[in-house]
Chains A and B, each alone.
Chain A
C-alpha cells in the first residue's frame, strides 16, 4: 500500500521544482507561511515529522460578501444613477450644467486665469474680516465717462446659442458676430426672427398635413367597394 504520508525529502524546498539551484541566505526569502508543514526535532533521535499533506497548500482566505464578481452598481443602489448619466446623452458644455450663469463659461479657465487648479496651487489670502467699504475706500471706484476697453465689453453678455440647422449655419455665424456687438439689436432680432420662424414652421406643418390627408384618401379609395367595383368594371370591359 502506498504510504499516504510522503517522505520529508520529497517535500523539502530543495526538491521543489521552483527552487532548483542554490539560494544564498543573503537573498530575502519569499513568505513561506503555510507552505512547509514539517517539524524538525533534534537531539538523541533527530527526526523530521511531517505535519501537512502537501507542499504549497496555503490556508484558504475567508469568503467575503462583496467580491469583484458581484454587481457593484446593484449592490450600492446606483442603477438609477447609471441610467441617468449613461443612458441619456449628457451635454459636454459646462453651460449645460450651469445654464443661468452669465458670460461665456465654456472656455478653458487657463485662458483668463480663472481655473480652479490655480485656486488650489495658489490659494488666496483668507481669514481676514469682510467689512463694508467706507466712503474713502469707495472713492477709488469713481466712474469716469468714456467707453470701456474692448476686452471688458462683452463680459456680462450671454453667448448666443449655436443653431443646429445646416442651412442657417452661415447666417447664424454672421448673426452671432453682430449680436455680440449689439445687445439691444440681438434682442430685437431674436424677437423679429421668431414670427418668421413660426410662419415657416406653420407652413411646413400645413404641407405635411395636406400630404397625409391625400395619402389617407387614396388608401380609403383603394379599399372602398365603389372603387373596386368600378375598377373591376373597367378591367372587364
Chain B
C-alpha cells in the first residue's frame, strides 16, 4: 500500500518539476533559440504525466482523507499538526473519561458503604441480586 503512495508522490514531483521548468522557459524566452520547441515538448510531457497520474485513480479509490486536514493545508500549515492535534485530543478525552470513571467507582464504593449502614438487609439482597446478574 505504501508503494502506490510513493510512486504517486514520485509522479507528482516529476509533474511539478516539469511545470517549474515550463515557468523558467517562459520567463527566460530567447526568440533565436529553441525555446518554442522545448516549450511544446514540455507541454506534451505535461499531458503524458497527467495521463500517468490518472492511472493511479483506481488504486486509490478506498483512500479516505479527513476534511479537516484540508483546512490545515489551505492555511499553509503542516498536516502533521493535524495528526498531532488528533492524538492530543484523543489523549485528553481518554484522561477525562478515565477520571470520570474512577470517580464514579469511588462514589459507588462510598455509597455502598453508607447504604449498608442505613439499609443492611436491603443491601444484602442487592448484593445477592448483583451476584446472580453477574453469573448470567
By a beta-carbon cutoff of 8 Å, the part of chain A in contact with chain B is: 2, 4, 53-54, 57, 59-60, 67-69, 71-73, 78, 81-82, 85-86, 90-94, 96-97, 100-103, 105-110, 115-117, 120, 130-133, 138, 141-145, 148, 152-153, 155-156
Known: A4-B121, A72-B94. A94 touches B43 (CB 8 A): no
A141 and B40: CB pair below 8 A?
A: yes
A143 and B29: CB pair below 8 A?
A: yes
Residue of B nearest to A155 (CB): B23
A94 and B27: CB pair below 8 A?
A: no
What 3 A-B pairs are tightest by C-beta distance, nearest first? A68-B97, A156-B23, A116-B70
Interface of A, secondary structure class, is loop
Q: How far, in angstroms, from A87 to B126 measured CA to CA in the complex? A: 49
B27 and A156: CB pair below 8 A?
A: yes
A73 and B87: CB pair below 8 A?
A: yes
Contact mask for chain B residues 114-136; partner A; CB cutoff 8 A; 1 contact, 0 none:
00000001100110011001100
By a beta-carbon cutoff of 8 Å, the part of chain B in contact with chain A is: 13, 16, 20, 23-24, 26-27, 29, 31, 35-36, 39-40, 43-44, 47-48, 50-51, 54, 67, 70-71, 73-81, 83-84, 87-88, 90-91, 94, 97-98, 100-102, 121-122, 125-126, 129-130, 133-134
Chain A's nearest CB lies how many Å from the CB of B117? Answer: 17
Chain B's nearest CB lies how many Å from the CB of A156? Answer: 4
Chain B's nearest CB lies how many Å from the CB of A36? Answer: 16
Which of A71, A85, A91 is the most central at the interface, judged by chain B CB atoms within 10 Å of its CB? A85
Known: A90-B84, A130-B54. A138 touches B76 (CB 8 A): no
Given contacts A73-B87, A90-B81, A102-B20, 16 further A-B pairs with CB under 8 A are A57-B129, A68-B100, A73-B90, A82-B91, A85-B87, A90-B78, A92-B77, A94-B73, A108-B76, A109-B74, A130-B47, A133-B47, A143-B39, A148-B26, A156-B23, A156-B24
Q: List 24 A-B contacts (CB under 8 A).
A: A2-B121, A53-B122, A59-B133, A60-B130, A68-B101, A69-B97, A73-B87, A81-B83, A82-B91, A90-B78, A90-B80, A92-B78, A93-B76, A94-B76, A94-B79, A96-B78, A97-B80, A106-B76, A109-B74, A109-B76, A130-B47, A131-B47, A132-B47, A148-B27
Interface of B, secondary structure class, is helix
Q: State which of A57, A109, A138, A152 has its C-beta within 8 Å of the C-beta of B43.
A: A138
Q: How far, in angstroms, from A145 to B102 measured CA to CA in the complex? A: 76
Which of chain B's residues have a CB closer than 8 A to the CB of A4? 121, 125
A53 and B78: CB pair below 8 A?
A: no
Q: How far, in angstroms, from A96 to B79 measured CA to CA in the complex? A: 10
Chain A's nearest CB lies how many Å from the CB of B5? Answer: 14
Q: How far, in angstroms, from A107 to B79 measured CA to CA in the complex? A: 14
Residue of B nearest to A90 (CB): B80
Q: How far, in angstroms, from A106 to B77 measured CA to CA in the complex? A: 7
A117 and B29: CB pair below 8 A?
A: no
B125 and A94: CB pair below 8 A?
A: no
Chain B's nearest CB lies how many Å from the CB of A3? Answer: 11
Q: How far, in angstroms, from A67 to B104 measured CA to CA in the complex? A: 14
A85 and B121: CB pair below 8 A?
A: no
Which of chain B's residues have a CB closer than 8 A to the CB of A131? 47
B101 and A73: CB pair below 8 A?
A: no
Q: How far, in angstroms, from A94 to B81 measured CA to CA in the complex? A: 10
